Structure 1
Amino acid sequence: MKLYGGGLIVHTLKSYGVKHLFALPGHQILSVFDSCQEEGLDLVSPRHEASAVFMAQALSLAGLEPGVALLAGGPELTNALTGIAQAYYSNTPLVVISGSNTPAKRDKGFPQDMDQFQVVRPFTKWARGCHDVKRIPEYLAMAFRQAQRGRPGPVYLEVPYDVMETRVAGGDVNVPEKPARLRAGVDPEAIKALAVLLKQAERPVAIAGSGALWSDAQLELQEFVQKTGVPLVLSSAAMAMPFPSEAVIGLGGLGIARPSIKAITSADLLLLLGTRLNFALGFGQPPFISARQKIAQVDIEAEEIDANRRVDLGIVADLKTVLRSFNSLDFSLPSLENWRDELRKSVGKYDIELHRIASSPRQPMHPLRLILDLESSRSDDSYLVLDGANSILWALMAVRTRPQGGIILSTQGELQAIGAGVPQALAIQRAYPGRKVILHTGDGSFGYGAMEMETAVRYRIPLVVVVHNDGGWGMTRDMQVEFFGKRGESAHQFGVVHYEPLVESLGGHGEFVDRAEQFKPALERALGSGRPACVNVLVDPKPKSPGLKMFMLMEVMLGKKTYYDRIPSWLRRLQIVGLDRLANQAMLRYLDHNLHNEME
């Protein structure tokens, strides 16, 4: 049997266990489309190329295997660039395959002729071209190996369409086995050093990030928490892991919620488990993290150790391997029950406060009322996708992990691009049809991917979208007013946009909610409709989340001159001299008041 080069791509992907391929049509890749039905590979064709990449990224987050997106090249590639860059800056394993023009058409003014490698190389871990049809499987094996091993990331394989449309006998081609996942070992002395730090600590906190997900360390992390009693915060892609909620004291980083701020700033030892000392942790610097706090960091990449702050112990290894080695040690640690009890009380007290604020009778409803009612409607195996800016900051204060489900944060990594939520939720619902997938998104971010609701209708994918509608670009609107006053506020406003009739016109289910008591019945109807659904919820735009105010404070402390005079001089001084215990307590009181005083 003879295969086109495009058919060989599909055949190889199938042999590697790939079940879904995301692509828009283009003349360079038609042979791939032709082969998908024959091979039984699920081909989902969205409305925008960035959506195809976001969909593939979502499957990486939900399934641990590199998702695969296919592009035709030219403008399809440039349209997809934000999705590729998002994967690059969040270290998400992703395989992007692109067609391109043939060499005979180069530099002749033929449509869509461009040097595609110049575009993708800054945002990919590895980029190559295949010019021999028989080597397509070989190059795909390289792509999967590069995407997964070491620090994961997106890779790019370009196949010109003359190679795509060249036929080859199946028996003449060798398809390499799918590359196995390899794990970097760990020095036993480093494990002993970690045990010594933990024995000395009275208030340790572990912060698990993307490295926990990509190393598949979920079970080992649970065992570590159970064995040591160390309080745990999950951040970034680690929130996609199924995890019992009672084992987690917080989600995100500094400033998301009061218990997390207390835990991280009061700890005497921070364990960074596959996470970076980036903006989410105040770059490891005063006034957010004291120079006197000890830090142990585990990372797959040696260059990441000591970034922004010199750590007390750096371990370069696969996190699953590190935790497995540590858990096998036969030793005892001092009891952390008092510390854990202090944090549990903080979490309990904070939950009461959140419910009190959410129960306010005012209309439109407080953003916390929306997220708490949504959270109470989730099942243990559901997926919750979070997109937006302000909407995410409110959500992370109140959502909880699930033992069989996960939380997908669309704005991962330093790029923080919004708008990936609809395609990501759509892809997860397609891959897990027996589960409920809910997207909680801001009204601005929903606008980026709203037409993918047509894709959901076309493929009968019953995802449910809950729109946090505050009538504008809420986060930048608040920053505009805080930093410069109200003169520029109008550019951030677009009023109440009724997205629900749009979804209904596409064949989905839509409802508008402007009173708190209407939301839960509307959500139940949406979940029970069996169709793509949009519940558009009007929320009060006036409250300011602690996460937003922490972000503004970090901008100021890192040099933003506007608003600088509003920061107390003593707090600015701490950035230089560091924190002693009394200064740390004063800072905590300041943060606690100023981050929460406009939450209601």
Structure 2
Amino acid sequence: MSIRGANLVIRSLARAGVERVFALSGNHIMSLFDACLDEGIEIIHVRHEAAAVHMADAVGRLTGKPAVALVTAGPGFANTLSAQYVTSMAESPLVLLSGAAPSTAPAGLGFQAMPQEQMAGHVSKASWAAQDIDRLGHDVARAFRLSQSGRPGPVYLSLPVNLLESETERNAGTLPVEDDFHPIMDLLDTQMARQCLALISSAERPLIITGPACCHSDGHELMGELTEKLGVPVVAMQSPRGINDPSLGAFAEVLSAADLLVLIGKKTDFTLKLARPPFVDSTCRIIQFAPEIGVLEQTNELLEQTGQFVLADVAGPRACLERLLQVGETSADQSDWLTEVQSAIGYRPDEWPSIDTATTSELHPVQVGRAINEFLQQEKDAIFVSDGGEFGQWMQACANTARCMINGPAGSIGGSLPMAIGAAIDSEETVLATLGDGTMGFHPAEFETAVRHNARVIAVVGNDSRWNSEHQIQLREYGEARTHSCNLSAVDYASVAASFGARGFQVNSIDELQAALHEANQTDGPSCIDVKIESVAAPIIRRA
């Protein structure tokens, strides 16, 4: 019996448990759209290819399993590159499939021919082009396996249109079996875990720091269990602002006081200031567990003259948490230090609760953040999605919820709305996104996608008519007299969203914001709340 290449791909997705794909149509992939009918796979048809990746990224972060984005060749594929980078830096499992020019065409001469796998190779975990119709299903299984193995991330598979539209004879080995999709586990050696715990016991001020991969799915629960079992602080870092991440309060102060760092999947990168003084003490010992030997070698090069790097092993981030939980407890009482770290992270300036701009038509971001946090606390299992920029940093500093997704170490903006929509589709939980007005310009048309798929998402837009992050750089670096070109028009984003079929709310006070949040939460489908805010710099929190 013969089977079309496109059906091999889609049937393999079904075997992986995929029920929907996030896609944007195009000539090269219409056979895949057609095959989805045969397998009952739903297509969430978006308005921009990057949005498809952001939506799949959100599902991957929430579930810990790769979701699928599907786009066409050439320009369609190229539109996904920045979103792939965001997903890669966030360490989120994802499979990106795209069409490609016929493999039979001379190099560069096919319609929309582009070196897609080479381009994706710079921003994804793995990237290749299918070569053989009989291996299409196994290519899909390999992509799923790699995306979850070691450090999670996006995997790209390029699908030449001639393979998708051709037929081949189906045999017993044509389709992958269940085990072909399973990740390869990089377990932490038990003896290495015991050595790590012994070093933690001998330290006075140990800190366990995880990278973005541990922030996904039930990672926060695992970190909480490890903190409780060991009695030492476990801190997740996933913000591009690193030690100045406002959601971590005065973390920078306790980081510089630590005498042992245990880095689980965490690189000694810019977010950790390369683990150099004065941000990390020159006598602080460092342990690192990472799934790539290259990451360990980089840390060794950074610290080889200092003697600080005392223990390392190749292991996956989640596997490390699980092994340390399994092996046992520490022998020292470090409760005072744990309390000190928790106090530093929980610290917010004393004046924040009293900030009030009731006499003006613009709210301070702290006021907005307080209202949003109060709303989230009332909603069980609410999902909070925050974009970057100055407004995003204020919201992250104010919102206290474990189910949180941010733009991640990539530092890109624009993904929050499609991420929230991806999280909200078929979800009973409240999904709330916060984004600035500059960010709102990236994907406003996805409100129409949310309307079409009845995704109940609340988007709160902090509107100061400005690219404020860059405006603040101009103020700091060059002075007020040289600020220019960062102002935006006064746009009513509630009306913009309403033009796509969403509910729109224009608010100018806390009472109006609270009422809008409540009403939006009772609305089927998406809502947009436009809040006029003061244009202020994001906080860098210190206690001194």
Equivalent position SS for 2:288: strand
Partner residue, 1:50: 50
Question: 1:168 deviation in Å?
Answer: 3.8
Sort the Cα spacing of 1:495 and 1:542 in 2 relative to 1 into closer, same or farther, 3 A.
farther
Residue 145, structure 1, aligned to residue 140, structure 2? no
User: Is 2:160 the counterpart of 1:160?
Assistant: yes
TM-score (norm 1): 0.82
CA contact (8 A) 2:3 2:170 kept: yes
Query: Which residue of 326, 334, 338 corresponds with 1:336?
Result: 334
- Larger CA deviation: 346-355 vs 332-341: 346-355
What CA deviation, in whole Å up to 9, does each residue of 1:428-475 have, x standing for no partner? 111x42111111111111110111111111222121101111221111
Is the 1:55–1:427 Cα contact (8 Å) retained in structure 2? Answer: yes
Are 1:440 and 1:468, in contact at CA under 8 Å, matched by a contact in 2? yes
What secondary structure is seen at the aligned counterpart in 2 of 1:275?
Answer: coil
Whole-angstrom distance in 2 between the partners of 1:518 and 1:151: 44
Whole-Å separation in 2 of the counterparts to 1:517 and 1:127: 50
One-letter identity of the residue aligned with 1:11: R
Cα distance change, pair 364–145 in 1 and its aligned pair in 2 (3 A)? same
- Counterpart of 2:244, as a letter, is L
Instruction: Read off the aligned partner of 1:202 and give its amino acid letter.
Output: E
Determine whether 1:286 maps to 2:280: no
SS in 1 for 2:501: coil
- Counterpart Cα distance in 1 of 2:187 and 2:93: 21
CA shift, 1:347, in A, is 5.7
Q: Is the 8 A contact 2:389 2:413 kept in 1?
A: yes
Alpha-carbon distance, 1:524 to partner: 1.0
**Counterpart residue identity of residue 270, structure 1:** L
Secondary structure of 1:73's aligned partner = coil
**2:374 aligned partner, one-letter code:** S
State the Cα distance separating 1:192 from its structure 2 match. Answer: 2.5
Deviation of 1:215 (Å) = 9.6
Counterpart mapping for 1:355-504 below 5 A: 355-357=353-355, 363-378=361-376, 379-402=379-402, 406-409=403-406, 411-413=407-409, 415-430=410-425, 432-504=426-498
Q: CA deviation at 1:330?
A: 5.1
Contact between 2:128 and 2:158, CA under 8 Å: does it hold in 1? yes
Q: Which amino acid aligns with 1:338?
A: D
* Aligned length in residues: 532
Residue 315 in structure 1 maps to residue 313 in structure 2: yes
Counterpart among 177, 194, 197 of residue 196 in structure 2: 194
C-alpha change, 1:342 and 1:156, in structure 2 (3 Å) is closer
Rate the CA distance shift 1:353–1:485 in 2: closer, same or farther, 3 A.
closer
Conserved 8 A contact 2:68-2:94? yes
Equivalent residue in structure 2 for 1:222, among 209, 221, 224: 224
Aligned twin of 1:585: none
> For residue 455 of structure 1, what is the amino acid of its counterpart?
T
User: Which is further off, 138-147 or 74-83?
Assistant: 138-147
Pair 1:304-2:306 in alignment: no
Residues 57 and 93 in structure 2, CA contact (< 8 A), matched pair in contact too: yes
Residue 569 (structure 1) aligns with: none
Partner of 2:30: 30
Of stretches 106-115 and 468-477 in structure 1, the one that deviates more from structure 2 is 106-115
Task: Classify 1:331/1:132 alpha carbon distance in 2 versus 1 (closer, same or farther; 3 Å).
Answer: closer
Contact map agreement 1:233 1:260 (CA 8 A) in 2: no
Matched residue, 1:516: 510
1:492 Cα offset (Å): 1.0
Q: Could you tell me which residue of structure 1 aligns to residue 176 of structure 2?
A: 176
TM-align CA RMSD: 2.6
Q: Distance in 1 between matches of 2:263 and 2:252?
A: 16
Superposed CA deviations along residues 541-581 of structure 1, whole A, max 9, x for unmatched, are 1354217xxxxxxxxxxxxxxxxxxxxxxxxxxxxxxxxxx
Which residue pairs with 1:82 in the alignment? 82
* Aligned position for 2:263: 272
Give the % identical residues.
27
Whole-angstrom CA distance in 2 between matches of 1:298 and 1:195: 13
Give the match's secondary structure for 2:34. Answer: helix
Which amino acid is 1:505 matched to? S
Shift of 1:209: 1.8
Paired residues for 1:347-362 under 5 Å = 350=348, 353-357=351-355
Structure 1 position 54, deviation (Å) = 1.4
Once the two structures are TM-superposed, the CA of residue 162 in structure 1 deviates from its matched residue by 1.6
Cα deviation for residue 262 of structure 1 reads: 2.7
**Per-residue Cα deviation, 1:8-51 (whole angstroms, up to 9, x for no partner):** 21111011011221111111111111121331111111111111
Counterpart mapping for 1:225-236 below 5 A: 225-236=227-238
Deviation at 1:150, TM superposition (A): 2.5
State the TM-score, normalizing by the size of structure 2: 0.90
In structure 1, C-alpha distance between the alignment counterparts of 2:468 and 2:184, rounded to whole Å:
44
Structure 1 residues 269-312: Cα deviation after superposition (integer angstroms, max 9, x where no partner): 22222222222222211222221222222222222125244533
2:290 partner amino acid: D
Distance verdict in 2 for CA 1:334–1:232, change over 3 Å: same
2 CA distance for matches of 1:322 and 1:89? 20
CA distance in 1, matches of 2:429, 2:325: 33
What's the CA shift string for 1:312-365, capped at 9, x where partnerless?
322322334333333344555322232233345556663754323368765511
Unaligned runs of 5+ in 1: 240-250, 548-590, 594-600
CA distance 1:172–1:186, change in 2 (3 Å):
closer
Cα deviation code 1:577-599 (max 9, x no counterpart): xxxxxxxxxxxxxx655xxxxxx
Corresponding residue for residue 260 of structure 1: 251
1:253 partner amino acid: I
Asked if the contact 1:392/1:441 (under 8 Å) is kept, the reply is: yes
Give the stretch that moved more between structures: 202-211 or 468-477. Answer: 202-211
Q: Which amino acid aligns with 2:225?
A: E
- Counterpart amino acid of 1:14? A
Runs of 5+ unmatched residues, structure 2: none
- Compared CA separation, residues 531 and 189, structure 1 to 2 (3 A): closer
Check the 8 A contact 1:72/1:98 in 2, yes or no. Answer: yes
Could you tell me how far 1:140 is from its partner in structure 2?
Answer: 1.1
Deviation at 1:424, TM superposition (A): 0.9
Q: How far 1:170 moved relative to its partner?
A: 4.7
